[in-house]
Amino acid sequence: MKRPYRYYSVEYKQRIIAEVESGERRQSSVAREEGISSSLIDRWRQQERNGTLSGRITPQERQQAKDLDWYKKKVAEQAMEIDLLKKIAAYSARMKKSNGCVVTERNVVRLRKDVG
């Protein structure tokens, strides 16, 4: 029969890692006494080195992460819209300055100054 999935607190993982790395006890004896596999301790040690050793993520934390991602996406969309509106405003101001679509000698001179 399969054992149910067990969760270990971050404090417990750190205590086991500290015992093994300090040399107090051998990894195999710690694994045997705690009833966990030696490879699990190896995985925790690797996670500790990578900075990814953490406890179980609660549903509330998962929802907060989803909300944060949604807000980041929304802010990025709004920043793009603002940039586009600024470009449209600048283009509109240039068009008003050139008196619309009527091409006259005066407009051509102004447009050439804007370009060059």
Q: What share of the chain is helix, strand, coil (3-state, %, to 5)?
A: 70, 0, 30
Cα 51 from chain centroid?
A: 15
Q: What is the dihedral of CA 95, 99, 103, 105, to 10 degrees?
A: -110
- pLDDT at position 60 is 84
- pLDDT at position 79 is 97
Contact 9, 55 (CB under 8 A): yes
pTM of the complete model = 0.46
Each residue's pLDDT tens digit, 15-34: 999 999 998 889 999 999 99
pLDDT in tens, the chain (116 residues): 666 777 788 889 999 999 999 988 899 999 999 999 999 999 999 988 887 777 667 788 889 999 999 999 999 999 999 999 999 988 888 877 766 556 677 767 776 765 65
Domains and their CATH numbers in the chain: 1-55 (1.10.10.10)
Structure tokens at 60: 């509330």
